[in-house]
Amino acid sequence: MNIIRDKEFVNQYHFDARNREWEAENGVPTTKLKVDFQLIEQNTEENKTSIIVILRFMIVLDHFVISGAMSQGIHILEKIVREVDEFSEQDKRFLVSPLLDILQRLTYEVTEIALDAPGVNLEF
């Protein structure tokens, strides 16, 4: 797949200590990763499709929760995509991979500073 990527954008990133009392009353949060692909433009004249990849996440660990959203514009050259269902699982993983990398980097750095210890490595 021949693509041009816009710069990644961190829309939100939260590091929250877990509140066990609140969780006892309201329920324990669960880890979730959700990826959305929004078709923005199908340019038949240039044979190009523009999409936005959005990663929404909540990662629950022992003592804290990481949550937020990140996005990136992607321009797919030499192809018109009519529906996001046209992407294979491998294509989707390729398209979202820079956002997962940023999530891993941010989490490592933030936890290293917040915990004054080696950072937490996320595995995807």
Instruction: Give phi and psi for 76, each to the nearest 5.
Output: -95, 115
Residue 121 is assigned to a structural domain of this protein:
no
Three-state helix/strand/coil letters over the chain: CCEEECCCEEEEEEEEECCHHHHHHHCCCCCEEEEEEEEEEEECCCCEEEEEEEEEEEEECCCEEEEEEEEEEEEEECCCCCCHHHCCHHHHHHHHHHHHHHHHHHHHHHHHHHHCCCCCCCCC
Q: pLDDT tens digit string along 46-82?
A: 999 999 999 999 999 999 999 999 999 999 999 999 9
What is the reported pTM?
Answer: 0.91
Q: How, if at all, do strands 32-43 and 48-60 pair?
A: antiparallel
Domain that residue 22 falls in? 3-115
Total domains in the fold of the chain: 1
Instruction: Give the CATH number of the domain where residue 75 resides.
Output: 3.10.420.10
Residue 53 is assigned to a structural domain of this protein:
yes
The token pair that represents 34 in the structure block: 């959700």
Q: pLDDT tens digit string along 5-41?
A: 999 999 999 999 999 999 999 999 999 999 999 999 9
Q: pLDDT tens digit string along 68-118?
A: 999 999 999 999 999 989 999 999 999 999 999 999 999 999 999 999 999
Instruction: Give phi and psi for 47, each to the nearest 5.
Output: 55, 55
